[in-house]
């Protein structure tokens, strides 16, 4: 397979900031970089490679070049967040990939080093990265750069395959601009004090909605009960910014898919995608609620929307014991571990031992 090919010797490499003119070359290279173990996929940012990064107010995309040919890329975002009770600038490193024929030649190491230098110049006190379970190469890569595993979070994946009844707990509707203050208060009640959380505001939510591709005010749902907004839930349709194509499944997953197909003859059941299929996934962000029962109403509403739109999976990320997981009762759910790696960029700056918040856009 291409991603296991022997690496070629690199002549001379340099790092620069990516430009819109790099779009097609980056997409072509990204399509060649396969990911996963049990389920092998290719992931391509589309229709614009930079759409993935535009959800952040401050971001940079860098490319590694050899003879003016792009052989790797890496991105980062800079934002404010709570670290040990104080608001400080932090950096997030994401979407680092290398041409299959240039792997194990130091390309990713140079990209991360360049990203860290940029984040340090911009005042970030620490940097973090998210790595899915069993993805050993990036774990070894970031550990070699001084990152340490801080916490393993969970990404609950809700599989969409049948309609769900909505409990009679108010009215679900798209948010209006005048709802953003109430939504921000709910978000802060849900996540205030969590490490890496950035307190929400109406202006901050409005800015996020404006800059995030494939996301608008109608994608932020609210549950209104007796004139009060008691829960809010944003839906980001990933298929509009990222094309994820299944390339291969292990024998174990193929057998599982066969069993699910057999079970569907007798009752509604989810299905596994096959090679060549493109995944349609929705990311949930932001999430705010007071009562789990209120969140459950919004989750069931989103399930029904996803079913009618052809989306197969809905996901978010949280601590393993966060109350929002209780709202997923009744769903066919599979959990994926997400490892949070952290590196201090300034001496003595460390995350506290409290619960950690990770925004869905980081996935």
Q: What is the pLDDT of residues 224-248, one digit of tens each?
A: 998 999 999 999 999 999 998 888 8
Per-residue pLDDT, 183: 98
Per-residue pLDDT, 10: 60
User: What angle separates helix 107-121 from helix 136-144, to the nearest 10 degrees?
Assistant: 50
pLDDT band at 253 (very low <50, low <70, confident <90, very high): low
Greatest Cα pair distance, the chain, in angstroms, is: 67
pLDDT of 2 > 80? The answer is no
C-alpha to C-alpha distance for 126 and 143, rounded to whole angstroms: 15
Q: Ranked by mean pLDDT, which of 160-164, 250-254, 293-297, 347-351 comes out on top?
A: 293-297
For the segment 59-84, the average pLDDT, to the nearest whole number, is 95
Q: What six digits make up the tokens of 361?
A: 């856009």
- Nearest residue to 15 via CA among 94, 122, 93, 118: 118
Three state DSSP letters for 12-29: CEEEEECCHHHHHHHHHH
pLDDT of 170 > 60? The answer is yes
**Residue 6 backbone dihedrals phi, psi, to 5 degrees:** -70, 130
For the segment 33-45, the average pLDDT, to the nearest whole number, is 83
pLDDT band at 9 (very low <50, low <70, confident <90, very high): low
Q: What six digits make up the tokens of 223?
A: 């549950």
pLDDT band at 349 (very low <50, low <70, confident <90, very high): confident
pLDDT of 7 > 60? The answer is no
- Nearest residue to 64 via CA among 93, 94, 106: 106
* Of residues 336 and 111, more confidently modeled: 111
pLDDT band at 4 (very low <50, low <70, confident <90, very high): very low
Per-residue pLDDT, 278: 87
pLDDT of 161 > 70? The answer is yes
Three state DSSP letters for the chain: CHHHCCCCCCCCEEEEECCHHHHHHHHHHHHHCEECCCEEEEEEECCCHHHHHHHCCCEEEEEEEECCEEEEEEEEEEEEEEECCEEEEEEEEEEEEECHHHCCCCHHHHHHHHHHHHHHHCCCCEEEEEEECCCHHHHHHHHHCCCEEEEEEEEEEEECCCCCCCCCCCEEEECCHHHHHHHHHHHHHHHCCCECCCCCCHHHHHHHHHHCCCCCHHHEEEEEECCEEEEEEEEEEHHHCEEEEEEEECHHHHHHHHHHHHHCCCCCCCCCCCCCCEECEEEEEEEEECCHHHHHHHHHHHHHHHHHHCCCEEECCECCCCHHHHHHCCCEEEEEEEEEEEEECCCCCCCCCCCECCCHHHC
What's the chain's average pLDDT? 90
Per-residue pLDDT, 28: 96
Q: Count of CB atoms within 10 A of residue 12's CB? A: 7
> Are 27 and 46 spatial neighbours (Cβ–Cβ below 8 Å)?
yes
C-alpha to C-alpha distance for 93 and 341, rounded to whole angstroms: 10
pLDDT of 8 > 70? The answer is no
Quickly tell me which residue has 């909605």 as its tokens: 209
pLDDT of 3 > 60? The answer is no
Per-residue pLDDT, 196: 97
C-alpha to C-alpha distance for 307 and 305, rounded to whole angstroms: 5
pLDDT of 336 > 70? The answer is yes
pLDDT of 50 > 80? The answer is yes
Cα Rg of the chain, angstroms: 21
Per-residue pLDDT, 5: 43
pLDDT of 13 > 70? The answer is yes
C-alpha to C-alpha distance for 162 and 307, rounded to whole angstroms: 7
pTM of the complete model: 0.90
- State pLDDT tens for residues 268-322: 767 677 788 888 999 999 999 999 999 999 999 999 999 999 999 999 999 999 9
> Are 290 and 231 spatial neighbours (Cβ–Cβ below 8 Å)?
yes
Sheet of 242-249, strand order:
34-35, 39-45, 242-249, 278-279
- Nearest residue to 80 via CA among 91, 72, 68, 88: 88
């Amino acid at each position: 397979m291409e991603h296991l090919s022997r690496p070629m010797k690199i002549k001379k490499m340099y790092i620069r900031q990516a430009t819109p003119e790099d779009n097609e070359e980056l997409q072509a290279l990204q399509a060649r970089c396969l990911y996963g173990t049990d389920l092998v996929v290719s992931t391509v940012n589309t229709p614009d490679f930079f759409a993935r990064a535009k959800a952040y107010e401050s971001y940079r995309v860098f490319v590694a070049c050899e003879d003016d040919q792009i052989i790797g890329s890496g991105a980062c975002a800079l934002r404010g967040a709570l670290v040990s009770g104080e608001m400080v600038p932090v950096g997030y490193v994401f979407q680092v990939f290398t041409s299959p024929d240039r792997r194990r030649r130091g390309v990713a190491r140079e990209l991360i080093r360049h990203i860290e230098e940029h984040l340090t110049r911009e005042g970030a006190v620490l940097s973090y990265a998210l790595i899915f379970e069993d993805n050993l190469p990036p774990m070894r890569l970031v550990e070699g750069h001084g990152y340490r595993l801080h916490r393993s979070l969970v990404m609950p994946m809700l599989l969409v395959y049948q309609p769900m009844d909505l409990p009679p707990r108010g009215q679900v509707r798209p948010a209006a601009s005048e709802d953003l203050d109430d939504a921000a208060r709910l978000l802060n009640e849900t996540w205030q004090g969590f490490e890496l959380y950035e307190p929400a505001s109406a202006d901050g939510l409005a800015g996020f909605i404006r800059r995030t591709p494939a996301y608008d005010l109608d994608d932020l749902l609210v549950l209104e009960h007796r004139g009060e907004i008691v829960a809010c839930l944003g839906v980001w349709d990933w298929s509009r910014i990222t094309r994820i194509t299944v390339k291969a499944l292990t024998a174990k997953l193929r057998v599982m898919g066969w069993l699910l197909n057999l079970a569907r003859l007798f009752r509604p059941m989810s299905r596994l995608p096959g090679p060549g299929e493109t995944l349609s996934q929705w990311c949930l962000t932001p999430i705010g609620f007071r009562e789990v029962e209120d969140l459950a109403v919004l989750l069931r509403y989103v399930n029904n929307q996803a079913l009618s739109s052809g989306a197969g999976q809905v996901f978010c990320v949280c601590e393993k014991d966060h109350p929002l997981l209780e709202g997923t009762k009744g769903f066919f759910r599979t959990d994926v571990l997400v490892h949070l790696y952290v590196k201090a960029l300034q001496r003595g700056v460390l995350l506290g031992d409290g619960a950690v918040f990770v925004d869905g856009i980081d996935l």
